[in-house]
Every structure is written in C-alpha cells, then in structure tokens.
Structure 1
Amino acid sequence: MRFLFGDIVVDAAQVKLTKNNQQLACEPRVFELLVYFCNHANKAISRNELLEHVWEGRVVSDAAVNRAVGELRKLLEVNPSSPQLIKTISRVGYCLAVTPTIVTDPLPSKELMKTESIHDSSFVYSKITRSQLASTWLGKRFWLFLLISLTLVVFTFYRYQLDFIESNGGTFRLLSQKPVTISKGSSFNPFYHSQTGTLVFLHRKNANAYAQVYMRKQGEQGKVILSDDYYYTDVIYTGDGFIYASRLNNLEQRLCEIVKVDPETKEQTLITKCGEGVITQIALDEYKNRLIYQSRASISEPYSLYSYLIDTGRKQQLTHPAQIGNNTGDYAFALSPNGHMLAVIEYRGADVDKLKLLDLNTHQIIVNKAFINNVYGLVWNFDHQVLGSNGEGLFEFDIKTLKLTSKEQSVQYGRLALGDNRLSLLTERSQQTINIYSYLNDNTSVKALTSNRGVNLMPVFGNNSNIMAFRSNSTGIDQIFIQPENKPAYIAEFNSAIESIGAMAWSESDEQLLASINNTLYLYSLVNKRWTALAKNFNQVHYVTFVEHSIMFSAEVDGQWNIWKLSLHNNEVSQITFKGGYSVQGNTDTIYITKFNRSGLYQIDLKLGVESVLIENFPIAGWRHWQLRDNKIYYLEGKEYKVLDLSLSLKQTLHYFEERKPSSCNMSFQHKFFACEKVELSSSNIWQIQLSEGNEY
C-alpha cells in the first residue's frame, strides 16, 4: 500500500519515503508514525492513541512522541516551524491535515514474506505493512513467529557474550516514571540526599553555556548555587549541609579540581586537584569521611580511583586499571550502602567492559566479571544489587549469585542516582541534535550539509571531489554515511554494530574510503559497496590515512603507539616510527604526526630520519583537530580554525567560533570551504523511575 499527497510518496509495503522523487532517510519509529497518520488522515489523534498503536504501549514520555512528530515535520514540511501538513491540535494531539491518495498493491507471496525483510536495531520490518499482516490469520502467526525468534536471538546472544546473564526474572519491575525537572537547557547528574530531601544537580542553559550547580530542597523552588567561569562535572550533597563539586577550569585545558561549597554563603574551599583532561565523578564515604573520585596524571593515562581523607588531606590510589590502547580505565563507579565495597566499571577495549567489586577494607578485587559496555550510570539499590545503565537500557547485577539481568530495554537511561528510597531511581533523559555545516573561507556564508535529527560527526571530504563521509546515528544506530557531491547521502552498510570510529580518509580517486572501525582497519569500495578488513593482525588501530600508494595507521603494539605502513601492492606492513605516533598524514618523503603522550605536531623527514616540532603545544587530545591538504595544514586551536602554509611558513586564522568549538573540521579539496559539526539542540531533564518489588506492578 502506498499513500500519495503532493510530491510525497509513503510506500508502506517497501518501508520507503520519497519526496520530489528523492528517497529520504527515515527512522523506523518515525516511519510507523507517518503510516498511522496516513491511515487516520484528517483526524485529531491524541498522544495516548499514538503511544498505544505506534509505540505499542511501551512506557515512553510525551517527549518521545513530540520528537518523532518534529522529525516528520522536518522531513515533510516546507517550513517545519509553521507546519501545514501535520498540525498540532490544542489539548488533543496531532492531525495529518491532508487526504492521501491510497494505492493498494497486491500482497506478496509467502516466499517473499519469508525472505524479504529489513532488519533494524530495534524492529524487524517485513515489506508488508504491519496493518496488512495483522488483518490476516497468517499475519498474526507471522508476527508471533518473528517475536519468538527475535526473543530467542537476543537471549542466545547474551548467553554467548556473558555466561552469567539472565534474560527474565529478578527482584523488581518498572512501576512508573515522571519528570523531576522541566526546564529549558540541560539538567543532569542528579544527587538526592534522602535524609534532608535535598536534590542537587547540574544545569546548562544552552549548548554553549558552562554547566553550573543547582539545588532544590523539599517544598522549595530550585535555585542556582554556583554560577561562575568553571565548568562543573559532578555534584553531591552531604548530611552536614555542604556541597562537594568537581569542575574544570575550561573546556580546552580541562584542569580538574574538587571544591567544598557552603550553599548559604557560597563560600568555596579547594579540596584537591584531580588531574588533566579529567571529567570526574565524586562520592562521599561517610563512614571514613573521605571523598572517592577519578583521576589521572595525564590525558594519555587511564582513569584510576582515588580516596581523599577530608580531615587529614591524605590521598590514596584505590584501583590500578590495565593500560589497553587509548584506555579510559575505571570510568564509572558506585559506593555500596554500607560503605564496604566499590562497584567499578573498567574499559576493556574490544572485550566486554568489566565490573569489579573492590573490598575497601582489604583493597582486594573480590569479583571481576564481564558486565555491559558504555556504562552511563551505576548505583547500588541494595547491599547485594548493583544497577547499571547504557544506551540499551537498565541492568541489574546480583553480587550473591553473580547474575546479570536485563531489566528494561525500551527506555532511555542516563546517569543513575537513588531517589527517596531503594526502589526509586533518578536518571536523566536527553535529546541532542548535531549537524554538519559548511563555512566559506571568507566567512560570508554558513549552511547545513546535513539536516538530521540525531548526532552527525566527523566530516571528511574527498581528494578529487566534494564527496563527504560522516558518522551519524540518525537511523537509531551509529553508521557511516557517504554523501556524493550534489546527491543524497547513503549508508555504507557495515556487517556488525559500530561501537567506535577512530578516523576516516579517502583515496586519491575518491573510490575507496578508509576507516578505523571498532579498533580494526577497514577499506570500503564505492564500486562494490563492501567493507574489507586489512592488517588483521592489528586489533588496536586508531588513526588511518592514505599516503600515496600506501596506507598509514597508528596502532598500539606492546604498550606503545606508533605509525605503521601497509603497502597496497603486496599487503606488507612495516613500522614507520619508533618513538611514538598517534595521528599521521603526509607523503612518501615527509610525514606529520601527533603523539599519544606528548603535546605538539611533529614533522619527520623519512629519508633523513630527522624529527622536528612544527606546532608547539598542539594538544595531545587534538589528534582529530588537524588535516594536511596539499601543502597546507589546517587545524583547530582553541576556538580558532587556522591554516599553516608549509611553503611560506605562514599562519592565518580562517574562522573564529563564537559558540563552543566543534569536535572536528575538514577542508574541501579545492580549499574553498570547510565543514564542522554544530550543536543545534542539547537538552535533558531529570526523571524519577519508581520500581516495585517482586512481580508486583
């Protein structure tokens, strides 16, 4: 079945949306919403009806519906801010204000239904609409079969990955959820002190503002406690009425320190410094009157956990994580209710991240088990239960049985904190839109190159055209998109989940794309539309680039990051640097590199073996902030985008970013314009999740 209105065609059978004969990328849930609107055109539809039929009764907020409608408007409307197709009906919901022409196609054969399906991260779509299948006995059986099959696949996957996981059961269920803060900007990192009914959290007015400290006592209005030139990263409230907060001096140097604050007088006392490039979490061990926090001596070292005795000022290292690649180390932790143990999440590279239980009396690791990756939040809700969250949902770990249980996978969870009891959780839910914009060198024009609801990062232009590759989660999962010049973008399909992308680079002819995906080197052919793994003996690959008729990449071998060369003629790999190398570009005579543990951008004469400093104090974390184009180096320095002409040894500032500087920029092949990421929307609020014991609802 197809729905036609204006220049828009909604092909429900093939799950395809076209406008002006151009296929549009559309998230699966958003497409389902559009089909529902088409089936109920010119009818006012409530949010509850949409939640029941499109979200199938899943527990999601009204914000999820609003976001999906906003995405539809962005795809369909000429002016999304003044919608003419999907109208808001006051106090009711929404209405599709046109009557589509319906074209009914014949149902496919049974064999087609079995074989032609499109798989997404959270849905399985047949090329027959859900309403068509549900109207027949075969459709009901078909979807029941798919549901059972998908459940078995998920269960088997977790059994294979984690031999101690359980898919069902447990000690609590999700009961209800409601927002705690409703504000513009972003509210995040909540901490609730149940004895005094005091909530403290961080708030950022907009994407370019620094996060500040807010407090709300029971029965009172929230108020700002700290508003200064520091960027605050975590906050807690103690029984003696003081606030402890971690902060950075700015977002460039990122020097970390922890302060004690009197919320009444606003007086601040420096407690301790916590390292360089550190965004630290803090906790108070009330039994020993000590702070626990993350720290590292330099940006090239992993996070370790430290304790600081408030009375004596004694500092002690508690954990010693493994040094694995570009390792974040012990990146999340939670203190047990009795103060005896720490639950610690350690990054493990290509392996599943580990949950370590540290006995704080003996300083021994008593449990070391695979957990979940990319942990956002960690909290103890009972002495024997640890809850963890990531992009997939909420998980429970029982330290008595060493069982990991997936509790909720349909709701977005961020940082976790306890509410007013052990069955009440606080978390944050956020929305972020980042798109890629082009900037003319003369600062006369800025325009969007992508217009997706989601996060679009890492623009990389070709060497022979303005073809662009970029990373995006606009479809619901991280994928690499390729956008040929003056043509729609398409997905460079990868055969497994993409968890990390180190760098991307185009070949000289723009017919191949090189990428470091999940710490492995891959080459994509635009002709064959296929990824091929290269240098398979290297499993810690980070930066990649083409250097004439070879590929150069950085990789960690025996604990040291260096530059390696892969010949495209015979596939032989040779080592180029022996004193460090983390990002690289250049030619067969000269290469330019950054290092993993030392600031600076370096030049190496490969014939003479002579190394010299090209740009002093180039930040260690700036490996993605520079680019060699012909004989010029373009790079970000603070909020300035600069160019260094190697022939003339002349530096020039091309652009100053009034707002927050982008994560990366890339110059086009003719040097006429460059592209950078720009944050369009960044918002979050704090929600309370109420749980119920046993199987009660």
Structure 2
Amino acid sequence: MAKQYWLGEFFVDLSRNQISQHTQSQTLPPKALSVLTHLAENRGRVVSYDELLDKVWPNTVVTPNTLQRSIAQLRKALGENSKTQGIIKTHAKQGYSIECDVNWSDSARAVAAENDNVAQTEEMSADIGDIPPQQDVSYSVSQQTVKTTLDNKKTHSAYVWPMIIVALLIASFALFRSQNTASDLKLRELNYLTATDNKEYGAAYSPNGEYVLFHRYFDKVCMNNIWAKNASTLEEYQLTNERGTYADQNLSPDGKRLTYIKEEDCTKPITQNTCYKLMSLDFEQALLEPQTAEVLLHCQNSAIRKPIWLDNQHIAMMQREDQYWRLIRYSTENKSSSNLYQIEGGHVFNYAWSAQRQLFAVNTVKNDGEHHIDILYADGSVKSSHPIKFPDNSPRLLKLHFQFVPNTEHLVLNYAGQLFSLSENGEVGSVDFPFDTNIGGASFHPDGSRVLLIKGRYDNDVARLVLPKLLENEANHLESLTGKTLEVSVFERSIDSEYIAKFQPNENSIAMASGRTGSEQIWMFGDHPAKIMSNFPRGFYIRNMLWDPQGTELLVLADMGLHLLHPNGDKTRIDFSHMVTDVFHWDAESQSVTANIRVNGLRKLVNIDLNTRDYQRINDKGVQWAAQSQSGALIFVDQMHRFWQRGGIEDTLIEPLLEQGSSKRFVIENDVIYGINRDNQLWSFDLKTDSLTVLGFVSPDIDYITDIRDGELLVTLVASEKKEVIELSVAN
C-alpha cells in the first residue's frame, strides 16, 4: 500500500500520520487515517460500517461510536462537518464513501516533497540530536580509497581536509546537542486501558511494569478508591476497602508496599487546618481483596504530598510547614525525616525521580519569578539548575508536570494540555503526538517502551438561576424546601467548557468564556446568536473577567495576566511584573484592581494600580475568593472557607457564616452576600442586618456562582467530567 497519496487538494502522508494542505499539516490518530485510506482505496463505492470496523479494528470489539469518532476527526482535518460532505459522504444506514479524486501516482511524492521542504529540513536537524549520549562516532575509510599517488594527495588535500573537519564538527555538535537539548519523542499506537463512566486519574506503572495503578473517582465527587489493572490480562483490582480523599499512590521497588496521601473528608466542612496522612498497605494482599491501610506518618501542622519510594526503606516527598514547600526524605525504619532540598526566597512546586539514574528533577520558581529545572543527586546536592526556555508566546502556568524518560537523559513535560520533551538544561522540544486532545499525567513504563496518559473532556455549561420568593414565616419557608431543588436553566450548551458568565451592564447580553473552538475565548450571547469576541492564543486559560460600569470594556484575566478587551475585539495586555492568579474587583474610575498575585511563588491579596503598575499588599491569608460590596466592603474567604470582612485595623470574622463556606464562590448585590454551602444550600447574608437566610437547595452539579443581577444568578454547571487512562507506545 502506498504510504502517501492525494485526496483532492489534501496530501495524506501515512508515514507521518499527517494530512497536509499547502503548508498546514495536522497529525491524526493512525486508526483514523486507516479508515480514510480504506475509503480512498474503494473510491466510487459505499463502504459499509461493518467492513470498516473489520478492516481497521480486526479481532477487536469496538462500538460504532469509535468509527464515528474517527470520521469526525477526519472531517475536522479536511475542513468539513456532518452538513458539508464534499470529501467523505455519509450514506444513512449504509456506510461512507469518498467523493473526490484520489491520486496514487509517484508524482504525489515529488509534489509533496516540494511543499514539505521546511519540515524535512527540521527533521534532518532533529535527527542529529537523536544520537545517544556518549556514543562513539567513528568513520571507516577503505584501503583502496586512500591508495593514491603523491600528486593526487596534494591535489585532493585542499578539498578532503576541510570536509573531514566539517564532518568532525557536525559529529561533535551532535554529541553536544544530544546531551544539552530536548530530544524529539515519537508516540504511536493508542490503547484505552479504562472506559468507565467514572473519572480515572494518577495512572502509573508498578516498578516491574506488570500493573497500572490509578485513582477511580465517583461521579462528580472528590472521593476515590485506588485500583490496579494487570497490564497483560487487563483484570482490575480494587486495593482500598473504602473510598476516601486519596492522592499520589506509589509502589515500593520490591512491589510489596503501596503508599498514598490521605486528606480529610472532602465532602465535610473544613473546621481546622487540613490533616494529611501518609498511608501504607500490603499490595500483594490487596490484589486478593481490598485492604485497610495503616498510618505511616500523621501531619497535623504541615502539609505533605507526592511520596515516591527511593528504595525499600526511604520515601521522598514534599512538605510545607509555613508558606514554602521543600523536598524531604522519610525513613520508614526510623520514623524520621531529613531535609533534601529547599530554596531560600523561592518555591518548590513539583519534582520527579529517576531510580535508573538516581537523580531528582525539581520544578522551582526563584527570585526571578521564572520556572527552573533543578537536577539533584540522590543526596539532594545540586547537579545543575537552569531556567526552562519555553517557546515564544507559550502560556504561563503555575505548576509544571514532568517525568524522566527511561534509558535517556531527557524528560517529558506535560504543559498546557500537550506533551513536550525537556532537557536537563531547560530546552523544550516537540513530541510527535497522534492526537491533539488535552492530555495529562504522563508516566513511563520502566523499560521506556510505553507511556500512560490521562485523556478526557471537562464539560461545563452556563446557566441562570432565579432566586426564590421567600415566605413570610421562615419555618414555613424551610418546610416548603424539603425534597425540592431550585431549577437552573442552561442558556448556552456545547460539548466543551462554557464558564464564568457575566451580565453586561446596561444591556441584555452576557459574556462568557468557552473552549468550543479548541482554544479558550470570550463569547457574547444575548438577543443574537453567540459570537466570539477575542483571539487569545491556544493554551491560554481564562480565569475571570470583569465589566466596567458602562459595559463597554472587559478586564480579562488570561494566561496569568490582565488584558483589556475593547468593543471592537482588540485587546491590550497590561504590563505587570508578577503573575496574577485571580482577579476579584475592578474600579474602572480609579483604575484599581483587587487580585491575587504570586511573589516568589507565594500568593498575596493585593490592590494593583493600573496607572503606575504598582501594588499594595492587603494580606497573605491564602485568599480563595473575594468580592466588594456596593458600599465598599471587601469580603474574602480564606483557605478554611471562612468569611472575613476587611477592616481598617484588622479583619473581622463573619461568624454566622462559619458553616456556609465552600469552593463554589460567592457574589454580592445590594450589600447581600449569596453563596452555596457544602450541603448544596443556597443562602443569603445581609451585611447590614447580619441576617442569614437559606433560600433553597440547588443541584450538586453547580460548580460555582459567577454573577448576579436583579435577583438572578449566573452559575457554571458541571455537565460531565470523564477521564480515561490511555497507553501510547514510544516509537523511538
């Protein structure tokens, strides 16, 4: 079968899993291209669904949805949809056919090569970097070649020696580049390891590669159990005997002890600092039946996360006693810990461990505010430290996730929903990836031949909720709420994320953020169909937005920076020296913004002067959400979801709201706070009279409140949150 062919004006290159048009190329899953190729081979007839399934997925049980997903991927790459079918045509209840010309001639290769010169040049350059580190580069010259006359030697020496010197320089550069730049990874065949209605996260191989360990969450709930799946038979085993708030499971090198972090019940109100426990269970016994774990370490005054076994007696983990995280080593034998790595005036965000190379890779943010990769020896001493050199216009993220690639000197970086290769010197390279869906959680098989990823879609909708009319008697009102849930009305729906809807002042329109185009953008919805208003680069995440009082401009927090979005769609990025992680209030008249920023990795609530670009600190209490009332009162929620009102000398705790906090945010209208507690009760609190009123029960699917106007709330709903564990083979 030909590896390349023309489909109308599109060039299909099966060797690269790409479809190209002019200079634009898109990478598709191999199975989708197999579907396209079989249709192209049978141009002129309708190919049935069963024939396609048998041809592309032989001896495999798959659903028709799998084929439909491949067709949808192909149509997207070919610029079509179900309504415009100029290339792939659907024949109801029969199958599909190709409706354009197919060219299998050799000339297709020549024309494609001409159009693909730049890509080939880049590949050749990248291949230089694929020479393994410290590999000998030798050149053999036959006896016959060097057997020349003295005159020929003189004649040829002027040409031969420069060529030899150039060759040696190229070889030296190749060796240097292989050690100091990111290697291009190629990921190929895709396998789905889980396919449930639940949400699976945190997948990792066991040290011997025989099992895949992962967390299985319950529908839209933060509780989970830890599971194992046999990588060969795909048989599943529940390891923990009861659900809990678990994270960061890791198996000891001998495969006997499974450790993980357990936090307080995430469904209950927070009444004290979160308690963390390092748990351990017998993995071999858990494969027979779920086990009750024992507590290895109980932390009440510090936070711990990400335990990784270094050997069968020692565990590395991150610990925070004040505001800063550090890397520690814990001895299971002596029940004691020692410091491995911390930064004065900086922040440790994440780390990875290579048992093969006995090295740590630590993601830090230092005084310069930039992400660094610090390579440490097993004892915590520093081997190297370099800033991470992201490509131009890359989105800014707070915490990076990376893993060592076995049998190489490189790492893989999971960044902005995509994969990149990363060198120890901070160089970021490309990964040849078979699809463009957002993915996360890369974890390699011990032999480096496969990698686990988490794939799925987080689907949000925006909705309206009209506040109920209260009965005069509060007892009668509460009785009338029993068994009833206040209705929400979704007003804009897609299969992607719609969120943070905001009423436009003085208009009937609503602004919202949406990822329906493949990138996060601002959309307007009202008496007209929804239309796009921004053009943020792919990978930028929109955290919040605020209208000016006239409803003419939007202050948008995207990519941890502030942007002014003008009526004509133009935007202006506000130059500010620190990352902005939340924005709560915008006084357009004084050009003052209340926001959370990061200073040396630490979160601070501040007022930013947009005129001078200076900021004034308000507090360091780890504010989760804040809003300002019409009378100027600043209300904020801390890490324990307690409500506070800012005062002139000290902040005042709002005691009637001690049991009403949650992660669902709050809004203020006419000096009345509206929020949702952990029991899914919608409540109001009058700041003038200190009166608390339960308004009704709401759906647990409400993620958070985003705005209020004239007794009507805007909320973000969780429509679905499905995550699956997938496995890809590493081609190189």
TM-score by shorter chain over 0.5: yes
Q: Are 1:379 and 2:404 counterparts?
A: yes
Aligned-pair CA distance for 1:683: 2.9
Determine whether 1:230 maps to 2:255: no
Q: What is the CA-CA distance between 1:592 and the residue it aligns to?
A: 0.8
Contact 2:180 2:423 (8 Å CA) reproduced: no
Amino acid corresponding to residue 461 of structure 2 in structure 1: N
Give distance in 1, aligned partners of 2:368 and 2:694: 39
Determine whether 1:245 maps to 2:260: yes
Distance 1:436 1:506, change over 3 A: same
CA distance in 2, matches of 1:132, 1:615: 73
How far off its partner does 1:420 sit?
5.9
Q: Structure 2: which amino acid aligns with 1:317? A: N
Distance 2:218 2:311 in 1: 32
> Which of 327, 333, 337 is equivalent to 2:352?
333
Is 1:691 matched with 2:716? no
Identity across matched positions, percent: 10
Map 1:188-337 to 2 at 5 A: 188-193=201-206, 195=208, 197-208=210-221, 210-217=223-230, 219=233, 221-238=235-252, 239-251=254-266, 253=270, 255-262=275-282, 263=286, 264=288, 266-273=291-298, 280-286=305-311, 289-297=313-321, 301-321=323-343, 329-337=348-356
Where structure 1 has 5 or more consecutive residues not aligned to the other structure, the ranges are 1-11, 13-27, 54-60, 79-84, 100-129
Tell me if structure 1 keeps the 8 A contact 2:370–2:387: no
Distance 1:466 1:45, change over 3 A: farther
1:548/1:588 contact within 8 Å kept: no
Match of 1:66, SS?
A: helix
Q: 1:521 aligns with which of 555, 558, 562?
A: 562
Give runs of aligned pairs for residues 60-79 of structure 1, distance below 5 A.
66=69, 69=72
> Does residue 176 of the first structure (1) align with residue 215 of the second (2)?
no
What corresponds to 1:114 in structure 2?
Answer: none
What is the Cα deviation at residue 95 of structure 1?
A: 8.4
Secondary structure (helix, strand or coil) at the match of 2:69 reads: helix
Q: Quote how far apart the aligned CAs of 1:376 are.
A: 4.3
> 2:196 corresponds to which letter in structure 1?
S
Scaled by the length of structure 1, what TM-score is found?
0.69
Alignment of 1:508-547 (within 5 A): 508-526=549-567, 528-534=568-574, 536=576, 540=580, 542-547=582-587
Q: Do 1:562 and 1:575's aligned partners in 2 also have CA atoms closer than 8 Å? A: no
1:592–1:274: structure 2 CA closer, same or farther, 3 Å change rule? same
Quote the Cα distance in structure 2 between the aligned partners of 1:348 and 1:391: 21
Match of 1:464 among 506, 511, 517: 506
| 8 Å Cα contact 1:350-1:518 kept in structure 2 | no
Post-superposition Cα deviations, 1:225-261, rounded to whole Å, max 9, x if no partner, equal 2242412222233325332222332336564322111
Distance 1:518 1:408, change over 3 A: same
Check conservation: 2:340, 2:379, Cα contact below 8 A.
no
Q: CA deviation at 1:309?
A: 1.0
* TM-score, normalised via structure 2 length: 0.66
Kindly name which structure, 1 or 2, has the bigger radius of gyration based on alpha carbons: 2
* 5+ residue gaps, structure 2: 1-8, 10-25, 57-63, 84-88, 130-175, 391-396, 469-484
Any idea what SS the aligned residue of 1:317 has?
strand
Q: Which amino acid aligns with 1:488?
A: P
The amino acid across from 2:677 in the alignment is E
CA contact (8 A) 2:200 2:724 kept: yes
Q: Tell whether the 8 Å contact from 1:394 to 1:406 is kept in structure 2 after alignment.
A: yes
Instruction: Give 2:476's aligned residue.
Output: none
Aligned to 2:441: 415
Out of 549, 552, 565, which is 2:593 matched to?
Answer: 552
2:360 match: 342
User: Are the aligned partners of 1:337 and 1:383 in contact in 2 as well (CA < 8 Å)?
Assistant: no
After TM superposition, the structure 1 stretch with the greater mean CA deviation from structure 2, 242-251 or 589-598, is 589-598
Matched, 1:679 2:719: yes
Alignment RMSD: 5.2
1:590 counterpart residue number? 632
SS at structure 1 position matched to 2:689? coil
Distance 2:552 2:617 in 1: 28
Residue in 1 that maps onto 2:671: 631
Q: 1:595 to 1:398 in 2, by over 3 A?
A: same
Q: What is residue 420 of structure 2 aligned with on the other side?
A: 395
Indicate the residue corresponding to 2:386 in structure 1.
368
Mapped to 1, the partners of 2:702 and 2:303 lie a distance apart of: 19
Structure 1 contact 191–199 (Cα < 8 Å) conserved:
yes
After TM superposition, the structure 1 = structure 2 runs for residues 612-623 of structure 1, keeping only pairs within 5 Å, are 612-614=652-654
CA gap of 1:204–1:593, structure 2 versus 1, over 3 A, is same
Matches of 2:373 and 2:385, distance apart in 1:
8
The residue number in structure 2 matching 1:119 is none
Report Cα offsets for 1:578-606 as digits up to 9, x if no partner.
5458555336863314377786433346x
- Contact persistence 1:502–1:516 (CA under 8 A): yes
> For 1:150 and 1:304, how far apart are their aligned partners in 2?
45
Residues 206 and 270 of structure 1, relative CA distance in 2, 3 Å threshold: same
Q: CA deviation at 1:668?
A: 2.9
CA contact (8 A) 1:547 1:588 kept: no
| Cα gap change, 1:175 to 1:409, in 2 (>3 Å) | closer
CA distance in 2, matches of 1:474, 1:167: 38
SS at match of 1:553: strand
What letter corresponds to residue 199 of structure 2 in structure 1? S
C-alpha separation in 2, matches of 1:488 and 1:385: 48
Q: Retained in 1: the 8 A contact 2:683–2:696?
A: yes
> C-alpha deviations, 1:555-589, integer Å up to 9, x for none?
4568773432548xxx4677665545855533686
Aligned-residue offset at 1:665: 0.8
1:358 is matched with 376
Q: Look up the match of 2:548.
A: 507
Distance, in Å, in 1 between the alignment partners of 2:214 and 2:603 is 40
The residue number in structure 2 matching 1:563 is: 606
Q: Could you tell me whether the CA contact under 8 Å between 1:168 and 1:407 is conserved in 2?
A: no
CA deviation vs aligned residue, 1:315-341 (integer Å, no higher than 9, x gap): 2333325767xx7x4224233324x21
Cα distance in 1, alignment partners of residues 388 and 541 from structure 2:
19
Instruction: Indicate if the aligned counterparts of 2:275 and 2:303 stay in contact, CA closer than 8 A.
Output: yes
Report the Cα offset of residue 655 of structure 1: 4.5
* Cα displacement (A) at 1:270: 0.8
Q: Check conservation: 1:186, 1:203, Cα contact below 8 A.
A: yes
Q: Secondary structure at the match of 1:281?
A: strand
User: In the aligned structure 1, how far is the partner of 2:242 from the partner of 2:91?
Assistant: 42
**1-structure distance, mates of 2:660, 2:114:** 53
> How far 1:175 moved relative to its partner?
4.7
Pick closer, same or farther for the CA change 1:515–1:133 going to 2, 3 Å. Answer: farther
Query: How far does residue 284 in structure 1 lie from its aligned partner after superposition?
Result: 1.0
Counterpart Cα distance in 2 of 1:70 and 1:149:
23
How many pairs align? 592
Structure 1 distance, partners of 2:599, 2:307, is 33
Look up the equivalent residue of 2:279 and give its one-letter code.
V
Distance across 2 between alignment mates of 1:316 and 1:440: 55
